[in-house]
Structure 1
Amino acid sequence: MTNRPRGRAVLAAPATALLIGLTGCMGPSASQAPAAEAADASDWGEPTGTVEFWDTNANATLTPVWEGLIADFEAEHPEIDVEYVGLPNSSALQKVDNALASGAVPDVLLVGNDVANLIAQNALTRVDEVFESSGLADASDPTMVDSERGNAPDDGLYKVPLTSLSDVIWYRTDWLAQAGLSEPTSYDEFFERTQQLNAPDENRFGYAFRGGPGSMPPMFAMTYGMSGVGEFFTEDGQATLDDPANVEAFKRYVSLYGSVSAEADLTNDYPKIVAAFDGGSAWATHHNLGSYQDHVKALGAQNVAGVQPFPDEDGVVTATTPAISGLGLMAESDAKAAAWEFIEYMTTTGNSSYAEAVGQVPASLEAQEAPWLQDSQPLREIVETAEDPKTQYVQLPIYLPDYASICKTEMEPDLQAVLTGAMAPEAFLTKYAERFEQALAEYEQYAGR
């Protein structure tokens, strides 16, 4: 472990509940980078023809939702046809990169945390002007918009926010009731419950661990949530991953694997942890709001709870900032006018229906007032956490062009090495503290600092 200086700057949560704790850009001097020219919509022609839309998070639950909303859109816009292409999240990034290399790109892309990589490849259209002129700027959650601007070195808007989703600790309330146990209110109690409800001989485990694809978001959330370290980079650009408090928290997190989880969890991806949790073989797991509807359908809303990180002894909650899903207009699209009509529809008229179906917070300010949002226990939990002045948010550096590839191609296999004992936890954290510092330095050079 290196001996770099560490910081714990507390980021106060927004006072308004529906801002859900999104902070602005925590990246380095994005506004100092040379600004790319925003697209002029007057050059796009008429909004007619065919729009090819790639859903990069396709699954059995979400695909029918998109298909229904597309049918509604086409009924209102008979001059536009939308071709839906569903890509499973586990392979979407590679397919998008292949499409960019070949030039066979869609018109609209569902974009998540890989937005910086797409911006770096000049794959997305900067839409600031049309976003303002269409009225979307007034209709969208400003904190989500500001957060998206923070992912670009020129402070431009390259992705129109659709929904945001927080990482959540999920657990079975019915298991607790059956065992006569109270719901946990701290990490100590949570870890105690995973032991108390662990019964491997009955194929019932305390925790479903995500050791395979997509394992970094829960690792970051659990590590920082337990450590209380409030920033990913210090002001002088040093990563906090190997802060001593994070080392201790990370060790505690990985201790869940094999002790209160199945050995097979080493390769668990999103479908597997959801199947374990919803299928009755795990009391708890960690995932974002994207799996909420799966849990409700399988278990019933009354039998599952989704909670934010537990507070420390001083009442401080440390959470990673919610991720934002949005729609990107591809730079090489030949149907930009029609594509923008689709984007505008999905982020306004269709926004509430989509957000409710996926169990996420809508970007539309009007949709945020819908009763279904207030009736959702996990969303209420997020709102209450955001309202608490003691809450602090750690901005993960998704603005780094290398962020997605570092997490997926480098960190994921090394986390498995930690779980199997082939790599020390300290070595893992120090390796990637240095790796992110390198990526930050390259970004600063790219941004013109």
Structure 2
Amino acid sequence: MKINIRRSRRAAVAVALGSVLALTATACGDDGSGSSGDKGDEGSGKGEITFWDNNGGVRTDIWKEIIADFEKKNPDIKVKYVGIPAASAQSKYDTAIQGGGLPDVGGVGTAMLAEIGVQGALEPLDSRLDKSTLKGKLSQNLIDSSRAAGAGDKLLQIPTSSNNGTLWYRTDLFRAAGLDAPTTWTKFYAAADKLTNKGKNRFGFTIRGGEGSIAPALDAAYSQSGITSFWNGDKTTVNDPKNIAALEKYVALYKKDTPSADVNNDFTKMVAQWDSGTIGMLSHNLGSYQDHLKALGAGKFRGLPSPTQDNGSRVQISNPVDGLSVFKSSKNKTAAWKFIEFAVSHEENSKYNESAGQIPANTEAAQDAWIQKSEPTKLAAAALNGGDTKIVQLPYYLPDWATISKSDNEPNFQKVLLGKMSVKDFLNTLAEQLNAAQADWKKNG
């Protein structure tokens, strides 16, 4: 079968960068010495630096608070805050890489990290972190995710926070049915079946079939199969027989233990459906906690990390990681690094993530009182930072990842749910596209 992989993001970047770059800076695993502009200077460590917030408006208040704290402790450094809406952050960075005007330091999530890094715009941070007070105090799993998303062996982002997959379940329904908490996949499937009563419009689970369905499906597959790497050499493991069997078991829940409407439900509809009905379980993330609290009250639900295998081993796919990067064109990298070091310190990282409702990258911050009071966040942080948790790194670095995982295969997953496509064909198609994208990336890199 001929695979036509659309490259909308790559085309957009090519237009933004123009023919000047001509892909000369697109070396795979770029060591950070790429040629996309001014290489900057270490600077005096004093004066003014510019910070771009890549979630401007949403995070403006907390960043201004952190900046005020920083300037109080470092009176010889002033930070100019620039808030950029999340939807336009990528294009803003691309335009500045071509035309100049990049900040000294900025927010760069893993979804855009490789694309910015491959243009040679980011400063490698390994040696700075190694000499920093942050050394040994950041989640190793998040550091690994940051490094993997950068498509090389250099660390181009210091993680600030992450979300985590969460299995929300109705404690009242579980108690009434005499069920144990769905901590393992065996208990999960038993609960999904027992809580379903179609005659009374009650279902054990709600499955995501609409927009954003691929990541939860892959999480369910890898979590059950126990496969811990997305690649085996240059071939993806998504269509490994163990993943095929795991996903077959998962999608068999559709219409048997889930509502039929799930085939079209994105997370908003899925969350609303769970909050308003009598569905036993929902797989989402920490971001819907306040919705559940408002709709159900604290006594009717609980959030756990995704189920483990029966032996207690936990495998999960990587979640997007928020972070901060130093731009190579900065004339004051010393001050820019000081800002990152301060922003990700225990107190400030805790303050930021309490406001954002996310898991701190700083492991000391992850032990703070506000997290201990929120059991879902506490358990998610423990799982994310646990040495026994294995993270399957999704290939955010591939220019075609977003297209493959969304527009190419979300419709195919709906076909799977509707019985019009087999799980094996679905995963084989996905694997063929991913292998082609990986080969293309290496060839052009």
Matched, 1:248 2:241: no
Aligned CA-pair RMSD = 3.8
State the Cα deviation string for residues 103-146 of structure 1 (Å, max 9, x = none).
49874334134422332344544444655666444653455334
| Cα drift, residue 309 of structure 1 | 4.0
Gaps of 5+ in 2: 2-26, 73-77
User: 2:269 pairs with 272, 276, 288, which one?
Assistant: 272
* 2:430 match: 432
Taking a change above 3 Å as real, the CA distance of residues 374 and 427 of structure 1, as seen in their structure-2 partners, is same
Provide the rounded CA distance (Å) in 2 between the counterparts of 1:83 and 1:396: 30
Deviations 1:384-427 (A, max 9, x none): 65798875443333343433332123222221232233332211
* Partner of residue 48, structure 1: 48
2:281 alignment partner in structure 1: 284
Partner of 2:343: 346
- Letter aligned with residue 249 of structure 1: A
How far the C-alpha of 1:334 sits from its partner, in A, is 9.2
Which one has the largest radius of gyration? Answer: 2
- The counterpart of 1:362, out of the listed 347, 360, 363, is 360
Aligned to 2:83: 84
Residue equivalent to 1:24: none
Q: Which residue identity is paired with 2:31? A: A
1:36 alignment partner, one of 26, 32, 36: 32
The alpha-carbon deviation at position 162 of structure 1 amounts to 0.6
Partner of 1:239: 236
Matching residue of 1:15: none
**For the residues of structure 2 that align with 1:402 and 1:223, how far apart are their CA atoms?**
21
CA contact 1:47–1:341 (8 Å) conserved in 2:
no
Determine the structure 2 residue equivalent to 1:72.
65
CA–CA separation in structure 1 for the residues paired with 2:384 and 2:335:
37
**Partner Cα separation in structure 1 for residue 285 and residue 112 of structure 2:** 17
Residue of structure 2 equivalent to 1:181: 179
Tell me: higher relative CO, structure 1 or 2? Use CA pairs within 8 A at least 6 residues apart.
1
What does the per-residue CA deviation read over 1:210-244, in whole Å, with 9 as the maximum and x for residues that have no partner? 2222222211111122223333222x433222222
Cα 1:228/1:126, change in 2 over 3 Å: closer
CA distance in structure 1 between the aligned counterparts of 2:153 and 2:207, rounded to whole angstroms: 37
**Structure 2 counterparts to residues 199-238 of structure 1, below 5 A:** 199=197, 204-234=202-232, 236-238=233-235
The aligned residue for residue 319 of structure 1 is 316
Amino acid at match of 2:33: E
User: Separation in 2 of the partners of 1:156 and 1:196?
Assistant: 49
Size of the alignment, in residue pairs? 404
Query: Could you say what secondary structure the match of 2:235 adopts?
Result: coil
Say which is worse superposed, 32-41 or 318-327, in terms of deviation: 32-41
Provide the residue aligned with 2:15 in structure 1. none
In the alignment, the residues of structure 1 paired with residue 300 and residue 167 of structure 2 have an alpha-carbon distance, to the nearest angstrom, of 14
Question: Counterpart of 1:82 in structure 2: which amino acid?
Answer: Y
Listed as ranges, the matches of 1:26-175 within 5 Å are 33=29, 35-37=31-33, 41-43=41-43, 47-48=47-48, 51-55=51-55, 63=58, 66-76=59-69, 77=71, 79-87=78-86, 92=87, 95-100=88-93, 102-103=95-96, 107=103, 108-122=106-120, 124-128=122-126, 131=129, 135-137=133-135, 139-175=137-173
CA, structure 1 residues 392+128, in 2 after alignment: closer, same or farther (shift >3 Å)?
Answer: closer
Kindly, what percent of the aligned residue pairs are identical?
A: 32
Does the aligned pair in 2 maintain the 1:415–1:428 contact within 8 Å?
A: yes
Distance 1:339 1:345 in 2: 10
Please give the TM-score of this superposition, normalised by the length of structure 2: 0.75
Q: Helix, strand or coil for the counterpart of 1:55?
A: coil
